[in-house]
Structure 1
Amino acid sequence: DEEGSGEWIFLDAEVLMKADEIYGTKNPTPHQVLLDTRFELPFDIPEDEAQYWTGKLERINMGIHNEFPLQDDDQRGPLPFAA
């Protein structure tokens, strides 16, 4: 429900393709986009189910932060390979 600080991400000019799938980007442009993403649970679910999904989202978020730590803009590289 709360608005976050967001993160400014540089947009890259080219995508890297392998076997008709995008696996990254290259050649940063001077353009940026502000990302502020959050997940919200539906209102009409039981409390125990809400706790389950809240815990699952928190574990996902921790995994993302551990796998892809935030970097300074000048250290940012191409996107990681998507499985």
Structure 2
Amino acid sequence: MTAARETAVQEMDKAATLPEQQRVLLGNWGAIVNFPQALRALLADTVLQFLLGFTLGNVVGMYLAQNYDIPNLSKKPEEIKKDVDAKKKPPSS
């Protein structure tokens, strides 16, 4: 066997020794994703924190945009460009 194959077999053996509940949760990724429990919990907490913050930010942004006179930033560069062009070209008579 090659060294890579031996390593893969050893990792699969490690995954097979996990408790049944962890094997079910990890599925086929058990050999690859063999993180300690604390690291998995930290990763899940970080992802959850990001998703909650992102969602809350979007909801607040939508509320503010609908209920208050918030300028549309995508139209602002076009307005600035028109103003600059108007100043560059003198009115023809």
Tell me if TM exceeds 0.5. no
Structure scoring higher RCO (CA < 8 A, sep ≥ 6) equals 1
Bigger radius of gyration among the two = 2
TM-score of the pair, normalised by structure 2:
0.29
TM-score of the pair, normalised by structure 1:
0.32
